[in-house]
Structure formats: structure tokens, C-alpha cells
Structure 1
Amino acid sequence: MWILAALAAVGVALARRFAGRAPERNPTDAPTRTARAGTPVLLLALFASALGVAIAQAVVVAVLPVFGRQFGVSAAAAAWLLTGFMLAAAVATPVAGRLGDLHGYRRVMLVSLGLLVVGSVFAAAADHTGSFAGLLLGRVVQGLSAGVFPVAFGMARRIVAPNRLPGVVAGLSAMFGVGGALGMVLAGPLVEVLGTPSLFWLCVGLGLVALAGAVVVREPERRTPSGSLDVAGALLLSAVLVAVLLGVSQGRTWGWGSAAALATAASAAAAAFVLVELRVAAPVVDLRLLRRRPVAAANLATFVVSVGMFAAVTLIPQFAQTPPAAGYGFGTNATGTGLLIAPMAMIMVIAAPLGARLTARVGGRATFRVGALLAVAALLASAVARGAAWQLAAAGAVLGLGYGLAFGALGTLVVGAVRPEETGAATGINTILRTVGGAVGAQVAATIVTPAAGLPTDGGFTLAFLVAAAAALLAAITARAIPRPTGTLPSTPRPR
């Protein structure tokens, strides 16, 4: 209970902090009619939902090696406990956004949080019975709860007062990193004291708390848009993501011929997906938005920075828990790993409101670039100097600052580039790429350091950290292509 109380206090503090910020107001936002815009209860409900899902996503990261030993699976297989969640999240995000447009955001938020609770219970039960397949299935069901993110953005855009909206958007975007950092820190002590099933019972508690908050949220009446869910687009998106992630994670195990076949299948599915999405009136992913340079550049930067981040957070626990007999590593237990990651988590929590303040002063593009360059420095340091735990902890602190700033700026960049009625679609695309980038990063890192037999080599970790640094550097370079906001947005014809 004390953990839930502490997280609730964090949510209240962040809600109050971000609600008072007003960076980079979008002049196209129309005032809302609700009298309760920006109330603490509403903001706490949105923040609690986003925070709970973000914690659920990352709660297994620090203890993936523990799961590998417990179930007798390889590091690449254990990484699927993270990747499976992210794969489901990538598919659920646009679907939830579209269903929210059609049937109301509050209703979809309740369903999403219900899936978090159900998936968490299933995962805990499977863990108790020793079923890795059941545990993975539970994680996939948990991942479907990620629909909370586009729904929260859409609800905030409609209800929160315009002068407070940018701060709330920055806060919701930062929850992706803050919740992830908290999840990684909490995992170690919980596993040491209560065992791995406690991670999923924690998610049950978080889901129930968020559900209680979502019940009190009320949406103002609105005109329901016409159209239906793009089922074909959702299925094709699923096929693309599964093929890509299987190719990345299993290419070496299955043989690169099989990986080439998966790449071909992914390309074919991707081509079909693009054709379908450009033809339907209400696509599950509105690719037309990517024709705008600000939206396309922000999304590309999102993808590559997520690759670097999740590669790093997958590598640090695995390196720390490697026994020193291998010639490297610290042989830490789950609690020790949590303490090692704690500086990154604490700095990321601090960086979230700092990012909102910095965005107000210098703009989202500059804030994102500063964050990405800090991440480059931290990852390069991890590649060349990790002989002592304090070195990895210090690099993690810088990494937390970098990614806290970067992720806090992303929401403002995306929302500021579109009109109010496009918020759900734009944030849905951005969340997909953030999630897919994270899944690719985690699997690439696990694949690089996992040898055909035996323990990973120290050189494998060096290479993986360098790859993560290259991804962060590419994100900083890509951010240069994001134009400065002009205050006007291009007109886009509405589908009939």
C-alpha cells in the first residue's frame, strides 16, 4: 500500500506542476466550454492512468535476467516480456484512438485500464504456475492498455483550458519516461522480498487506482464523428510489427534465410498497409499527417531516440547482474540493480517539469536536441567506462536527464504541429513509433549481446552501447529537420 500511496503523491505533484505551465500555446486551439477544465481530479485521473501503464511496461526491465534464470530461457527470449507488451501497445494505440473518436474517450480509457488489470492478474497467475508462455500472454494483454495514451491526449485537448494545455501535454508525454524509470526501480526490491509475481500484483493495484480515477472523469457532450474502425489496417499493422520484431530477435536463431523471409513478408505487409491507409476515409493510422514536415520529422526523431533508450535500459540490468567470473559485471541481485538504476529514475522525474520549463523558454526542438545529446554522452561513457558500479550509475543519471528532456518535449512538438481535431491521430502515430522504437531497441540490444552459447561478452556490451549512442545521435540530427513553429497550420480536407 505504501508504494501505491507514494505513486499517488507523485501523480498529484506532477499534475499540479504541469497544470500551471503554459509553454508554446497553439493559436489554433479553441476554448472549451467545460467549467471543470484543468481541475485537480481530472488531471490526477489522466496522469494516474498514463503513469500506471508506463510503470507496467517497464516493470520487468530490471529483472529480465531473473526471469531468464527462473524459466530457463535465453536473454533474447526473456526480452520478449518487454517486447510482447510493446508490440501489443503499438497495435492498440491507434485502435484505441479511433475508438475514442467514435465512442468517447472515457469509455475507451475504462476498457484499456480494465485490460491492464486483467492482463496483470493473468501474468501473476502464470508466474505462480511457472508458465513462461502464459506469462508472455499476460504481458501482451497488459500491452493493450497502452491505448490510454492517445485517449488521454485527446481528452486533455478537449477538456483542459487552452492556457494550461501545453503543460498538461508535456506532462502526459513525460509520464512515458517517468513511469518507466519508477517501474525499473521498484522491480528489484519487490522481487527480492515478494518474488516476481509481486510485479504483476503491483500492476493490478495501479490499474484499480487508475480505474477509480477514470470513473469520475466526465466528458462534455460532443458531436460523434461518422465512420468505423479500420479493421484491415489494424490487422496489417499487426503483421508488419510481428514480422519485423521476429526478424530482429530470432534471425540468428532461426537462420538469416528465415530472417530474410520475414523481412520480405514485413515489406509486403507494409506496402499493403500503406495502400489501405491512404484509401480509407478514416484510417487506423492517418499517414496523410506524415506529409507535413514537422510531423514527419518529430516522428522519425521519436523512433530513433526510443531505440537508443530501450536498448540502454535493457543492457544496464543484464550487465549489472552478470557474475564477475565472466570477466566483467557486478553480480548484483534484483535490489542492487534497482539501486543502480535509481539515479536515472530520480533525475528523470526531475527532468520532466524541467523539460516543460525549458520548452517554454527555448522551444520543443531545442529541448529535444539537448536531451538527445546528453543521451549520446551517457551512452558513450557506458561503452568505454563501466568497470565500477558508480560509473554506470553516473552515466544512468545523465541518461535520465537526457531522456526526460527529450520525451517531455515530444508531446509539445507533435500536438503543436496539428489542429485540435487531429490530436488523437497525431499522438497515436507518435506513440506507435515510440513503442515500436523501444521494442526494436530492446531486441537489437538483446540480440547483439546474446552469443550462440554461454554468457555475453564484454565486447558485445560495448558494441550494443555504441549502437544505442548512434541512435541517440541520429535523433539529435533528425531534430534539426523539425521547423520552428509558425503559428499557422496547413489546411487538410476532411474525409467525406
Structure 2
Amino acid sequence: MWILVAVGGLVLSARRSLRRSGTVRAPREAAGHRQAGGQPAVAVLLLAAFGVAACQTIVLAALPVLARDFEVTTPSATWLLTAFMLASAVATPIAGRLGDQYGHRTVLAAGLGCLAAGSALAAVGADAGWFAGALAGRAVQGLSGGVFPAAFGLARATVPPERLGRVVAGLSAMFGVGGAVGMVAAGPVVGVAAPAWLFLGCLAVALLALAGTARLPAPGARGDRARIDVPGALLLTAAVAGLLLTISQGRLWGWSSAAILLTASVTLVSAVAFVVTETRTREPLVDLRVLAGRRLAPVSIATLVVSVGMFAAVTLLPALAQTPSAAGYGFGYSAARTALLIAPIAAFMVLAAPLAARLTSTVGARRVFQSGAALGSVSLLALALAHDHPWQLASAGAVLGIAYGLAFASVGNLVVGAVDAGRTGVATGMNTILRTIGGALGAQIAAAIVAGATPAHAAVPSESGYRAAFLVAAVIVFLALPAVAELPRRAEPTRT
């Protein structure tokens, strides 16, 4: 029940903060609009978003333990992370489209159902030492990525316009907060219990959130039931899956190997065909004209680079902390002790989320996002220059937590403000995909830099590799500042 304790405190804290700031309605304010935007609805949306994000990263710190239990290589065990990301990247835009057409509550419930079913299968696989079963369970879990666009769509449909910004900020923050908590929780769990408990915790949260969907308002049926763009969905699946496969397996298969070259070629052809198909289809899965618009394109670029920097950091920090001190750096920490070292990232993300909600309503989403990106770049630069003592990593992690709490909480408002209401699901879905792709890119870029700076046959990576990787991550995150510089200070929803 590791995640229930964390999410219980998180949701209660978020609810109190949102209530004080006027985001959620008291019951008497919701008269004539049954449960719309009320405390139960907001709490369910926060819980659902948090649970999906936490379950995505829950295996990250436990991959070496899972590799030993399943008797597979560490690269093979990384598929337990990649499978979730692949399925999530594919399911998210489809769920956004379905939610816009058929109702976001139905899509939200379906996503949570996939999270529950996948968690149960993964737990059975982990308990029985059945790697294929655990891998399949992780892929089914990943289908819950559609929870994010559904949650944004429900918020926009039910929360009053003057309070929508804070709720969207809270939902956006859950992506980063949940991911950080998942990574932190994994170490202690596998230290005291079997790895199956990682997935049982996800199951408990999924069932709790699924039960809460009954408290969400059900919008009336819409008359414009457009067909689903099946060719576009298949091409998008091939393009995204190929990209993530290339990123995740490039170092293992060899960047110039036939397998990688073939995968990259399929990715490129699928991406080009997807663009051609979507621009010629009357009812496309993704309206590329909207995504390439003057307001949404900069937000997408900024989301990608910030995600790259975040996942680079959270990949590097545990590896650095667990490096034996005999190497001249590192602390030789266990997985559980490493979790305590990076816990400030999650803790300060939680603290930053309600702060971001308030700041967004006063200074605007763009300035809040830029503040987060600036702090993130500074903290990564600090890690590149000073990582000789545990307190330095913990302090930089705290600043990083604030940085990404602000950035992820505000980017949702930037996305929502860049499109009209009918395209909220698709736009937020694609933004979630960019976070997933950015995470995969960040992890692989960081690993490649460290490996490239390490002499052949060395027992441990070179410290210079970590310095270079942190520095590159700092520069990448800094690029988010000019990316959104021309956006309006306040992100007002478009009416087109």
C-alpha cells in the first residue's frame, strides 16, 4: 500500500490548497450543475493522474532487482519501462480523440480499468518469475496514458472558467510529482518486500480512482459522433513505437546496426505517411494545423526539452549515488538509501504544485513555466559542478523538484489556452506524448554521454561523463525559456 499513503496526503493537501484559492466549489456553489468542479471530482482527477504517472516510473529504481528475479539481462529488464511508455504514447492521442467525441468520463474509466488489469497481470508475473507476463502487464498498464487527456477534458467541461487554471495546473503537476514519487517509492519497497508489491500498489490506486469515477459528472451525448481515423491511428502507432524503440534500444543493438537502421527507416516512413494522411483526412485523429499553430507549437517544443532535462537528471542521480566511493566519486548507496537521497525531488514537487496554481492566476502560466525552466537549468548546472557530497545532490534535487513542479503545473494551462474547447483532449494528449518521448530521449541521451566518456573495459563510468551529461541537460532545459517567450503572459483559451 506504499502509494496509497503518498497519494492520500498529496490529494488532501492539493484539495485544501485549491479550496483556499477558490479553485474548487463548495457544494452550495454547484447548484444547478451537479458535482461539476466540486471537491470529489477534483480529488478523483488528481488521484487518477497521480496514479498513472507513479506507475509509469515505479520500476525504474528496481530494474536491477527485477532483472535478477526474472533471470534476464538488465537491458532486457528495461523493457518493463519501455513497454509502458510505448503503450502510453500510442494510447494517449487516441484516448483524447475518443474523449472529445464520446465523453471523457468513459475514457477515464477505461484507462483506469487498463491500469488495474495490467497491474494485476504484472503482479502475477513478478510473483511467478514470469517475465513475459510482467512485460505484458506493463504494456496493458501503459494504455492508461489516456487518463491524462480525459482528466483535462473533464476539468475543462466542469470547472468554472475563472477557476479552471488552478485545476489544470494541479493536473499538470501530477505528471512530474507522480513520476518522482514512483521512483522514490521503488527502492524501499523492493528492500523490504517482493517486487510484486510494486504492482499491487498500482492496483490499489487504480481501483480506488476507478471507484471514484462514479462521482464525476456525465456530460450529455454529443450529436457530432465523427468516425475514428483508423489509418492515422495505425501510422501514429508505428511512428511513435519506432521512435521509442530506436531511442531505447540504440545503445544495445548498436546505432549503425541493421536492426536500428531498419527501425529508424520504418519510423521515418510512418511519420511522413502520418503527416500526409492527417492533412488529407476530413476528420483526422490529430489536427496538425492546430498543433503547428503559432501558440501551440512553442508550448510543444518547451514541453519536450523540459522533459528531456528532467528524465536525464532522474536517470543520472541514482546511478551516481550507487557508484562505489572507491571510484573517486559516488557514495555506494543501496537502492533504499538512494531513494531517500532523491526524495527531495518528489517532496518539493508536491510543495510547488499548489504554489504554481496560485502564481498562474496572478502572473500567468508563461512566467510560471519560465521560472520553472530557469530553476531547472540552474540546478542541473549545480549538479555538473558540485556532486561530491550527499547534501549537494539532495539540495540540487530540492531545487529541481520546485523547478519541475512549476513547469509541469503551468504547461497544461499553456496547452489549454492555445486551443479551443473541442480540441482539448487531442492537444493535451499530444502534449503528454511529448513528455513521454522527452523522458525516453533524456534517459538515453544521459546514458549515451556517460558511456561515451567512459574508457573501454572500465569497471565504472567516468565522473567526467556525469559532469558532461548534467551540463548538456542544463543547456537543453534552458532552451525552454526562448521557446515560449513570445506567448501571451496569460494563457486565455482560444475561440477558434
Q: Please give the TM-score of this superposition, normalised by the length of structure 1.
A: 0.91
Cα-to-partner distance string for 1:100-146 (whole Å, 9 max, x where unaligned): 22332222111111110111112122222334443333222111111
Task: Tell me which residue corresponds to 2:9.
Answer: 9
Provide the residue aligned with 2:207 in structure 1.
208
Question: How many angstroms apart in 1 are the aligned matches of 2:89 and 2:182?
Answer: 20
Instruction: For 1:243, give the aligned amino acid.
Output: G
Tell me the equivalent position of 1:463: 468
The aligned counterpart of 1:375 is: 376
| Cα distance in 2 for residues equivalent to 1:65 and 1:462 | 24
Segments of 4+ moved more than 6 angstroms: none
**Counterpart position of 1:308:** 309
Q: 1:374 touches 1:398 (CA, 8 Å); kept in 2?
A: yes
Deviations for 1:187-236, whole angstroms, at most 9, x for unmatched residues?
22211111322111110111111111113323131424221222222221
The aligned counterpart of 1:438 is: 439
Instruction: Tell me the equivalent position of 2:296.
Output: 295
Structure 2 residue matching 1:417: 3-state secondary structure: coil
Q: Compute the TM-score of the two structures, normalised by the length of structure 2.
A: 0.91
8 Å contact from structure 1 (residues 66, 334) kept in 2: no
Q: In the alignment, is the contact (CA less than 8 A) between 1:38 and 1:161 conserved in 2?
A: yes
Name the counterpart of 1:477: 482
The question of 1:359 aligning with 2:360 is answered: yes
Which structure 2 residues correspond to residues 144-223 of structure 1 after superposition, within 5 A?
144-223=143-222
Query: Could you say which residue in structure 1 is the equivalent of 2:427?
Result: 426
Partner of 1:109: 108
Q: Is the 8 A contact 2:93 2:146 kept in 1?
A: yes
1:92: Cα distance to partner?
0.8
2:123 alignment partner in structure 1: 124
* 1:432 aligned partner, one-letter code: I
| Stretch of structure 1 that moved more, 356-365 or 65-74 | 65-74
Residues 322, 139 of structure 1: alpha-carbon distance in 2 compared, 3 angstrom cutoff: farther
Aligned match of 1:26: none
The match for 1:250 is 249
Partner of 2:18: 18
CA distance in 1, matches of 2:480, 2:283: 30
166-175 or 322-331: bigger deviation: 322-331
| Displacement after TM superposition at 1:488 (Å) | 7.5
Q: Which amino acid aligns with 1:105?
A: H
Alignment partner, residue 408 of structure 2? 407
* Corresponding position: 1:67 with 2:62: no
Matched residues in 2 for 1:325 and 1:363: separation? 48
Aligned residue pairs total 484
RMSD (CA atoms): 2.4
Summarize the Cα distance change of 1:253–1:185 in structure 2 as closer, same or farther, 3 Å threshold: closer
User: Once the 2 structures are TM-superposed, how far is the Cα of residue 436 of structure 1 from its aligned partner?
Assistant: 1.3
| Shift of residue 429, structure 1, vs aligned partner | 1.6
Q: Which moves more between the two structures, 440-449 or 180-189?
A: 440-449
Is the contact made by 1:102 and 1:228 (CA closer than 8 Å) also made in structure 2?
no
**Structure-1 residue corresponding to 2:27:** none
Task: Please list the CA deviations of residues 391-420 of structure 1 after superposition, one character each: whole Å capped at 9, or x if unmatched.
Answer: 111111111011111111101111112222
Query: Tell me, which stretches of 5 or more residues in structure 2 are unaligned?
Result: 24-29
Aligned to 1:340: 341
- Structure 1 residues 390-399 or 480-489, which shifts more? 480-489
Please report how far the alpha carbon of residue 390 of structure 1 lies from its aligned counterpart in structure 2 after TM superposition.
Answer: 1.3
Tell me if structure 2 keeps the 8 A contact 1:184–1:338: yes
Pair 428,131 (structure 1): closer, same or farther in 2 beyond 3 Å: same
Amino acid aligned to 1:311: A
How high is the sequence identity, in percent, across the aligned residues?
52
| Residues in 2 aligned to 1:309 and 1:487: alpha-carbon distance in whole angstroms | 27
Going from structure 1 to structure 2, the CA distance change for 1:289 and 1:59 (only over 3 Å counts) comes to: same
Deviations along 1:251-271, whole A, 9 cap, x unmatched? 343333333443332221110
Residues 265-274 or 401-410, more deviating: 265-274
Residue of structure 2 in register with 1:230 after alignment = 229
Tell me the SS of whatever aligns to 1:247.
helix
Distance in 1 between the 2:426 and 2:405 partners?
24
1:325: how far off? 3.6
Greater relative contact order (Cα < 8 A, sep 6+): 1
Answer whether contact 1:319 1:329 (CA < 8 A) is retained.
yes
